[in-house]
Structure 1
Amino acid sequence: MNFSAVLFDLDGTLINTLGDIGNGVNAILRKNGFPEHDIPTYKNFIGDGVRELMSRALPDGVVDEDFITQCVAEFETYYQAHYDVETTLYPGIEDMLDHLAAKGVKFSVFSNKPYDLTHQCVKGILGKWTFLEVLGPKEGIPKKPNPYGAKRIIEKLAISPDQFLYLGDSGVDMKTATSVGMYPVGALWGFRTKEELLAAGAKKTVTHPSEVVRLF
């Protein structure tokens, strides 16, 4: 394999955000008088954007769109102030990024976390490394698996899609990679299952970041 770039998902791939996201949503549920969820349950809620995260966490029957919008705004405000309380790099990520950077590999991030929060996390937690493009959904940038963001990164870096390895932890990531011709690799240390990743098109799954280095 001859890759020159990596497009990374963020949550569940580079950083373990489960505790801070779960605690943030639980704070909003508690504020509004709803039952909270155990933190591991949020593995099944994360990955399709913040609105879907909140909709899944709210009790069945809470479907008022304006209320969901209010809860999303409250969560984003809370999370902005608490994004790095428990969040850490996954074991092996620092060494992986160091080794790939030393090889001259180009890095980008495309997350379904809102654009501003994605930038906040990358700058605050991954600031040691250079990411040439960092994207999350906002007006004009639809969330994954829409291929727009990945195509924009391809154009920005002027690198052929077959030169990209895409590392992510969800079926959404694998579908995004496949749709633009990148090589989809599933991170099994993240939030979703091997079965989901393979069903969505992963060409390879890895259990530790060191395995990614060996693909270059």
Structure 2
Amino acid sequence: MIKAVIFDLDGTLLDTLDDLADAANAMLTARGHPPHPVSAYRRFVGDGMATLVQRAHPPGTHLDEQELGTALRSYQEAYAQRWDHKTRPYPGIEGLLGALVEQGIGIAVVSNKGHAYTRPCIDHFFPDLPWGAVYGQRDGIPRKPHPAGALDAACDLGVAPEACAFVGDSGVDMQTGTAAGMVTVGVLWGFREAEELQAGGARHLIAQPAELLDLISR
């Protein structure tokens, strides 16, 4: 029986793609590189900010540690100015979260987005919900697909990993949930395709948020 649901953030709860792309394109333009169409960022996001910055640079661009740090700071400054400009919850997400809480199901977030941005996103878009844990990428904690963040969230929720569902839109999320011993649920409204989710180990796929309620009631 599922007693708690741990969600990814970008591409799962929130459609953040436009703001992520705008910030990365601002960084690229400032560094003399051409911008990408928003659609390209579907493949760039999901593995943390530093990886996004690396992927956004033209193919063959080598960034040493100092250059990557400079580019990352430029991206972070740009994102800090616009993280809430176009970002919105996906349709049906607010209703889903409310229904889970009403049913006594614990809720949490584990994201590869920097923790300094993850918490404000949750506080801004979902301010009245009793989150059991909210974790972005933190120093000293390996990012997904390592299960450390997911297991920390389960501990905070007071729920055994096998009684948690891990819900996300990428293969990385499915690998995370599998490594943590959780029920993996891939969402089809996010940034990646069903094939990636299945390859990552998705036990279930859902096309609408309300379908999660049906899954956990089985």
Alignment TM-score, normalising by the size of structure 1: 0.97
2:61 maps to what in 1? 62
Alignment partners' CA distance in 1, 2:198 and 2:101: 28
Shift of 1:178: 0.4
Alignment partners' CA distance in 1, 2:63 and 2:28: 15
* Aligned residue pairs, count: 215
Shift of 1:102: 0.7
1:119-130 counterparts in 2 under 5 A?
Answer: 119-130=119-130
1:8-47 deviation line (CA, Å, top 9, x unaligned): 0000000000000000000011111101000011001010
2:181 maps to what in 1? 181
1:40 maps to what in 2? 39
Shift of 1:4: 0.9
User: Which residue identity does 1:83 align to in structure 2?
Assistant: W
SS of the equivalent of 1:136 reads strand
Alignment partners' CA distance in 2, 1:164 and 1:153: 10
1:20 maps to what in 2? 19
Alignment partners' CA distance in 2, 1:87 and 1:72: 21
Shift of 1:81: 2.0
Q: Does 1:191 align with 2:191?
A: yes
User: Which residue identity does 1:3 align to in structure 2?
Assistant: I
User: Which residue identity does 1:33 align to in structure 2?
Assistant: G
Alignment partners' CA distance in 2, 1:93 and 1:156: 22
SS of the equivalent of 1:149 reads helix
2:171 maps to what in 1? 171
Q: Does 1:29 align with 2:25?
A: no
Alignment partners' CA distance in 1, 2:157 and 2:86: 32
SS of the equivalent of 1:23 reads helix
SS of the equivalent of 1:72 reads helix
User: Which residue identity does 2:141 align to in structure 1?
Assistant: I
Shift of 1:183: 0.3
1:107 maps to what in 2? 107
Alignment partners' CA distance in 1, 2:68 and 2:29: 14
1:27-78 deviation line (CA, Å, top 9, x unaligned): 0111111010000110010101111111110012321221121111111122
Shift of 1:126: 1.7
1:114-160 deviation line (CA, Å, top 9, x unaligned): 11111111111121312111111121221101111111112222211
SS of the equivalent of 2:86 reads coil
> Runs in 1 of length 4+ with deviation above 4 angstroms?
none
Alignment partners' CA distance in 2, 1:151 and 1:129: 21
Q: Which stretches in structure 1 are left out of the alignment for 5+ residues? A: none
Alignment TM-score, normalising by the size of structure 2: 0.96
Alignment partners' CA distance in 2, 1:140 and 1:56: 23
Alignment partners' CA distance in 1, 2:63 and 2:21: 22
SS of the equivalent of 1:162 reads helix
Alignment partners' CA distance in 1, 2:81 and 2:127: 18
Between 69-78 and 21-30, report the one with greater CA deviation.
Answer: 69-78
Q: Which stretches in structure 2 are left out of the alignment for 5+ residues? A: none
Alignment partners' CA distance in 2, 1:137 and 1:201: 22
